[in-house]
Amino acid sequence: MNISPLQTARYEYMPKLPGMLRNGISEICVKEGNDTQSVADQEKIAALFPNTYGKKEITFEKGANTSVSKKQAVGVILSGGQAPGGHNVVCGLYDALKATDKENVLYGFKGGPSGLLEDSYIEFDDAYINMFRNTGGFDIIGSGRTKLETEEQFAVAAEVCKKHGITAIVIIGGDDSNTNAAVLAEYMAAHNTGVQVIGCPKTIDGDLKNEDIEISFGFDTATKTYSELIGNIERDCNSAKKYWHFIKVMGRSASHVALECALETQPNICLISEEVEAKKMSLSQIADQIADAVEKRAAKGMNFGVAVIPEGVVEFVPEFKALIAEINELLAGAKADEFNALASWEEKYAFIENGLSGDAMAVFAILPQNIQQQLFLERDPHGNVQVSLIESEKLFAAMVADKLAQRKAAGTYKGKFSAQYHFFGYEGRCAFPSNFDADYCYSLGYNAFMLIQYGFTGYLSKVSNLSRPAEEWIAGGMPITKMMNMERRHGEDKPVIRKALVELDGAPFRYFEERRDTWAVETCYTFPGAIQYFGPASVCDITTRTLALEKGMLK
Amino acid sequence: MNISPLQTARYEYMPKLPGMLRNGISEICVKEGNDTQSVADQEKIAALFPNTYGKKEITFEKGANTSVSKKQAVGVILSGGQAPGGHNVVCGLYDALKATDKENVLYGFKGGPSGLLEDSYIEFDDAYINMFRNTGGFDIIGSGRTKLETEEQFAVAAEVCKKHGITAIVIIGGDDSNTNAAVLAEYMAAHNTGVQVIGCPKTIDGDLKNEDIEISFGFDTATKTYSELIGNIERDCNSAKKYWHFIKVMGRSASHVALECALETQPNICLISEEVEAKKMSLSQIADQIADAVEKRAAKGMNFGVAVIPEGVVEFVPEFKALIAEINELLAGAKADEFNALASWEEKYAFIENGLSGDAMAVFAILPQNIQQQLFLERDPHGNVQVSLIESEKLFAAMVADKLAQRKAAGTYKGKFSAQYHFFGYEGRCAFPSNFDADYCYSLGYNAFMLIQYGFTGYLSKVSNLSRPAEEWIAGGMPITKMMNMERRHGEDKPVIRKALVELDGAPFRYFEERRDTWAVETCYTFPGAIQYFGPASVCDITTRTLALEKGMLK
C-alpha cells in the first residue's frame, strides 16, 4: 500500500469554487463584457488571428444555463514543468463535463503536447480521477516540452481530434503554451474543424502574470514549500550562529519566486535579477553588497546569515552575459575539438586567456576555479554554456569569501565566514497543492469546461479577485489574443504573451526595498513552517504576499 | 512583524502529557522499580560511579505528591546540533517548575555547555517562554558543542551553580552529552554540592536509542521533513520521467534517518551504511547495485528514479576508509606543505600516485576528478580529510554513469541516464516540531522537573510507550549509568552510552529488505506531504514507521 495518510485525507477535500459557480451547472449563465484588443501591436495581431481576435471578455453569473446541448469530447494536455494543482484542473474539468452530461468524455493526452500528435491518450473515469484529487504532480497523464506551433502539427492535431470526435482541447501550460493555444484555436477556427481551444495559466515561476492573470497556478504552493525550507534554515542559522547559507531558488529568468520567498522569510539578502540588470551590476558589486551585510553583522557578533539567490541571476549581470557569449563563440564548431584535445586545465586556461577579450578575461579571472571549469566543461549539445547548471550559490559565496579576505587584510573585517549551499526547485514543483492552489486549479478546470460548453475558443480560463475568499472569486474567460504583443524570437516577429518580470516600481519589490537594509543587518527572520491544509484559515487559505501587496491588501 | 501565521497558531497548541502527569503537580507520586545495572562492564562502571550507580528505575503515578518542598533553581543547557522540540523541553520544564512553586526559577545557559562554564545565562519568565512554545530551533538560548567532561570544567560548573543557588542542571543532548551528564552528576554528588543532574535524549540522527529510549526527540520531525521533500521529488520524477535524483540525507554515521525516509517514501534505492559495512561492499559494488536498478527500469521504459544515500556511507566502505587513512597519513605534518607547493593538479596527482599504496590508488583512480580534488583540497585544521564534505551523492551518480557507459558499450543497457543531486540536513533540524515531538519534548521537560523535585540525579528523563496515544505514555526516570558500557575512545577506556546503529536483524531493516527489490524496479513511491499540525490524528499524531515496526505495530 503506498497511499500516505495525508493523501488519503486530501482525497476528502472539496475544493472551493467561486460563488457564481456553486449553484450547479444549470444555474451558470454568461455575462458578456466589452470587446477586447491586444495590449500592443493591435493591427498585426488582429491580422494574425482573423477568426479569434477582438472577442468579448466574459464572466459567469448565476442564472439559467442557456448553452446548446451537444455531446462534448474534450482532450486535455499538461505542458512543460510540473506545478502543484495540475491534477485539480483536470478534476474540475472532468466534474463540470460529467455534471453537464454523463455521456460527455474527457481524454487525457499523455506526456504533454506530443501525446496529441501521437494520439497517445487515456479516457478518464471516476476511479482513475479520484486517485488524483488534490494531489501534486503531473503523473495523471505526464507532461512534456514539445511545442505545438507549426501548421504541420496543427493538421495532425486536427486529424486526431476528428478521429475521436473531439470538440475541444484544454492546454494547461505557461506563457508559450498559452500563446500556442491561441494559435491552435485560430487554426481550428480557420479550418472549420469545430474544435475549440482553451488555455489555463500554469507555472511555478510566476512569470505568466498580467492584467488578466493575477497569479499562475503552482506559484503559491511552490513558494510556500521553498519558504518553509528557507525559514527552517534561518532558524537553524540563528540557533547555530556559525554559517552563512546561500540558497538558490528556481524560477527561470524572473525573480518572482525569490522575491515571494524573501517576503515570507525576511532573509538577510535576496538578489533580484531584474534590479541587477537595471543597475548594470557587476559580479564584484553584487559580492560587495553581500560582503557589506556579512561585515556589518560580524561587527555585531553575528557571523551567520541567509542569502536567497534567484536561479537566473548570473544571466542578468551584463559582464557575465558578455562572457558567456564570448565563450560560446570561442568554442563554436571545430574550435571545441581543439579545446577538448588539450590535456591539462593549465593548457586549457592558456587557450581561454588567448581567446577571450580583455574585458571578458577580467571577469573570467575572478571566478572560482570550479565555476571556471563548469563554464568550459559542461556544455549543451549545441556547444553552449549551460547557464542553468552554474552553481551561482557557490559562485557568490566564493566571491564573498575573497572580498572578506581582502577586508580582513585591510583590517575592516574581523569575523568568521563559513558557507553552506542549497538549491530548491524540484522540492516544490510537485507538492500537494495548497488549499489556494487546490481551489484555484479546480475552479480553472471547472470554468474551462463552462467556456467550452458556451462555445468559446481561443480563451483563457480566467479566475480573478484571488486575494479574497473563494466565495468572492470571479470566473470567466478572456481572449488570449488580448494578452499578446509582437516580439522578436529567433529572428522572427511572433505574437506572444509577454513574460512578466519583477517590476521595480511594483508594490512587492518596493515593500522589499524599504525593508531590506534592516533585514540585512538585523535578524528579522520569519518562519512560515510547512504548508497546512486543515488548520485555521489564517494559516491554510492565504495566498502569496506578492498578490496581497499587488492588490494593496498589505502595506 | 515577523511572526508567521503558523507560529501564531502554534502558540495556542497545548502539548499532550502522559496520562499520569495530567492531574496536576499535587497528584504525581513516585513508584520505585528495580535496582539497575549497566548493560555491560558492570564492575568497572559501578566503580566509576560510586554515588550514582545501581539506583532504581522509577515511574510516576497518579497519587499524592510526597516530594520535599524546597526552592528550586534549575539551569538548562542545549547541547550539540539542533533538533525540533528543544524549545518544548524548556517549556515543559518551566511549566512544571512554576506550577510547583512560583518562586522557583529557571536559568538558561547560553550557547551550549560553555554558557555554564562562562556563567552566561538568562532567567526565563512567562513572556519570553511564550515566544518559543511549539517552535523549532534552539534559538531560545542557543546551543554549542563544548564538551563538559573534565574535572576542571566540573569544578567551574559547581562554582557557578553555588553562586546562583542552582539545585539542578538539565542537559538536553545526544549520547555524549548524556554520558557527560552522568559523569557530572557523579561529580556533583561526590562533592556534596547538592546539585542534581538530569539528561534528556535529543538527536535527529536517531542513534541515541536503546531499551530505555524508544526514540530521541527531533528524529520524528526531521525525518518527516526530509520525507516530505523526497516524496515531492519522487512525484516530480514520476511526472517528468527524465531524471535520477540522488538524495543525501543527514544522520552522521548511522542510517536511521535514511531508513525511516525510505520506509515513508519507498524510493528505488536506499543505501544502508551498516549493511555496506557488514557486507564489506566496495564502491564499485554499490555503484553496480544502483546501475542494476537503473538498467532494469530502463528496460521497462523508465529512465528515472530516486536513490537515498545516508550521509556517512562512504566511511563504511572498507576500501574507502583505508584510502582516507592513507591520505591523512600522506598529508600529515610537513608533507602537506610539500603537496600544497605543487602548482598543478597533474603534479599533485603524481605526488598522490607516488604516495598511496597500490590498493588505495586503485580506489582513488576510479573516483571522479572533483571528488579526488575534494579529498585533497578541503581538509580540516588537523590536516584530515573532511569526510562529511564529500559529495557522495555526486560520487555515486558519477560512478553509476561510468557503469552504464560500460553496459551501453556492451549492449546490455540502452537507456538514458541524467542525474540531479540533493542534500537534506539543515532543512529539517529546526522545523516546527510535529505534534509528536511537541508532546514528547514537553513531556520530557515536565518529567525532568518531577525527577528533580523528587531528588533524583544522574537520571535520564524517560517517556515511553510512544507508539501509543500520549494518554498511554509512561513517564519516569532511568539512571543513565544503566545504559552504559566501556568503550575505547582516544586510547582510553571510557564509560559511554552505546551509539545505536541500524540493526540488520531488526524489524525496520527487515521490512525494507523484503520490499526493496520490488521498490527498485517498480514505481512504488509514497508521498507523505508536509507535516500537518491540525488535521485528523491519522495525519498529525503518528510517529515514525521505524518505531511502529520496532513495536510490532506494523507488519
Residues of A known to be catalytic: 205
Q: What per-residue confidence (pLDDT) applies to A1?
A: 55
What are B76's strand-pairing partners? B108, B170
The alpha-carbon gap from A471 to the nearest alpha carbon of chain B, in Å, equals 22
Q: What per-residue confidence (pLDDT) applies to B334?
A: 80
Report the alpha-carbon distance of residue B395 to residue B388 in Å, rounded: 13
Q: What per-residue confidence (pLDDT) applies to B1?
A: 55
Residue B22 zone, left/alpha/beta (φ > 0; ψ -120 to 50; rest): alpha
**Residue B164: which residues within 8 A CB-CB, separation 6 or more?**
B73, B75, B107, B121
Q: Are B263 and B549 in contact (CB under 8 A)?
A: yes
The alpha-carbon gap from A260 to the nearest alpha carbon of chain B, in Å, equals 14
User: Would the pLDDT of B516 be above 70?
Assistant: yes
Q: What per-residue confidence (pLDDT) applies to B490?
A: 82
Q: pLDDT tens-digit profile of A250-298? A: 998 999 999 999 999 999 999 999 999 999 999 999 999 999 999 999 9
Backbone angles phi, psi at A354, to 5 degrees: -75, -30
Q: Are B88 and B441 in contact (CB under 8 A)?
A: yes
Q: pLDDT tens-digit profile of A504-521? A: 999 999 999 999 999 999
Q: What per-residue confidence (pLDDT) applies to A484?
A: 97
**Could you tell me which residue, A334 or B217, shows the higher pLDDT?**
B217
For all residues of chain A together, what is the average pLDDT? Answer: 96
- Please name which of A371, A234, A229, A376 lies closest in space to residue A305, comparing C-alpha atoms: A234
Q: What per-residue confidence (pLDDT) applies to B117?
A: 98
Q: Is A494 on the interface with B (CB under 8 A)?
A: no
- Please name which of B127, B129, B125 lies closest in space to residue B140, comparing C-alpha atoms: B129
Q: pLDDT tens-digit profile of A454-500? A: 999 999 999 999 999 999 999 999 999 999 999 998 889 999 999 99
Q: Count other Cβ atoms within 10 Å, centred on residue A440.
A: 31
Which of B228, B238, B542 has its CB closest to that of A530? B228
- Does the distance separating the beta carbons of A526 and B4 come in below 8 Å? yes
DSSP designation for A143: -
Secondary structure (3-state) at A475: strand
Q: pLDDT tens-digit profile of A98-110? A: 999 999 999 999 9
**Residue B422: which residues within 8 A CB-CB, separation 6 or more?**
A426, A427, B229, B233, B245, B246, B247, B248, B393
User: Would the pLDDT of B106 be above 60?
Assistant: yes
Query: Mind giving me the DSSP string for B48-61?
Result: H-TTTTTPEEEEEE
Q: Count other Cβ atoms within 10 Å, centred on residue A55.
A: 21
- Does the distance separating the beta carbons of A370 and B526 come in below 8 Å? no
Q: Is A143 on the interface with B (CB under 8 A)?
A: yes
- Please name which of A29, A39, A36, A30 lies closest in space to residue A57, comparing C-alpha atoms: A36
Q: Count other Cβ atoms within 10 Å, centred on residue A386.
A: 11
Pairing state of beta strands A459-464 and A419-424?
A: unpaired
User: Would the pLDDT of A379 be above 80?
Assistant: no
Q: Report CA dihedral (A393, A398, A403, A404) to the nearest 10 degrees.
A: 100
In the predicted model, what is the mean pLDDT of residues B363-376? 89
User: Would the pLDDT of B379 be above 80?
Assistant: no
Q: Is A444 on the interface with B (CB under 8 A)?
A: no
Report the alpha-carbon distance of residue A32 to residue A30 in Å, rounded: 6
B142 burial (CB, 10 Å; 0-12 / 13-18 / 19+) is buried
pLDDT bracket for residue B336 (50, 70, 90): confident
User: Would the pLDDT of B388 be above 80?
Assistant: no
The alpha-carbon gap from B19 to the nearest alpha carbon of chain A, in Å, equals 26
Residue B346: its chain A contacts at CB < 8 A? 344, 346
Q: pLDDT tens-digit profile of B218-275? A: 999 999 999 999 999 999 999 999 999 999 999 989 999 999 999 999 999 999 999 9
**Could you tell me which residue, B546 or B374, shows the higher pLDDT?**
B546
Least confident interval from A13-22, A192-201, B482-491: B482-491
In the predicted model, what is the mean pLDDT of residues A17-45? 97
User: Would the pLDDT of B382 be above 80?
Assistant: no
- Please name which of B140, B154, B157 lies closest in space to residue B94, comparing C-alpha atoms: B140
Residue B344: its chain A contacts at CB < 8 A? 344-346
Q: Are B216 and B206 in contact (CB under 8 A)?
A: yes
Q: Are B534 and A535 in contact (CB under 8 A)?
A: yes
Report the alpha-carbon distance of residue B238 to residue A429 in Å, rounded: 12
Q: Report CA dihedral (A264, A270, A275, A279) to the nearest 10 degrees.
A: 150
User: Would the pLDDT of A301 be above 80?
Assistant: yes
Distances in Å between the alpha carbon of B446 and those of A448, B96, B199?
56, 5, 13
| A contact residues 74-103, partner B, Cβ 8 Å cutoff | 81-82
Q: What per-residue confidence (pLDDT) applies to B424?
A: 98
- Does the distance separating the beta carbons of B532 and A534 come in below 8 Å? yes
Q: Is A442 on the interface with B (CB under 8 A)?
A: no
Secondary structure (3-state) at A347: helix
- Does the distance separating the beta carbons of A3 and B235 come in below 8 Å? no
Q: Report CA dihedral (A318, A322, A323, A324) to the nearest 10 degrees.
A: 100
Residue A204 parent element (H or E): none
Q: How many CB pairs under 8 A join A and B?
A: 200
pLDDT bracket for residue A340 (50, 70, 90): confident
For all residues of chain B together, what is the average pLDDT? Answer: 96
Whole-model pTM: value is: 0.97
Least confident interval from A349-353, A384-388, B201-205: A384-388
Distances in Å between the alpha carbon of A180 and those of A114, A252, A329?
13, 20, 32
Which of B143, B427, B532 has its CB closest to that of A533? B532
- Does the distance separating the beta carbons of A231 and B82 come in below 8 Å? no
Beta-strand ranges (E) seen in A84-166 are 105-109, 121-123
The cell for A528 is 512560515
In the predicted model, what is the mean pLDDT of residues B33-58? 97
Q: What per-residue confidence (pLDDT) applies to A360?
A: 96
What are B466's strand-pairing partners? none
The alpha-carbon gap from B85 to the nearest alpha carbon of chain A, in Å, equals 13
Q: pLDDT tens-digit profile of A73-90? A: 999 999 999 999 999 999
Q: pLDDT tens-digit profile of A179-203? A: 999 999 999 999 999 999 999 999 9
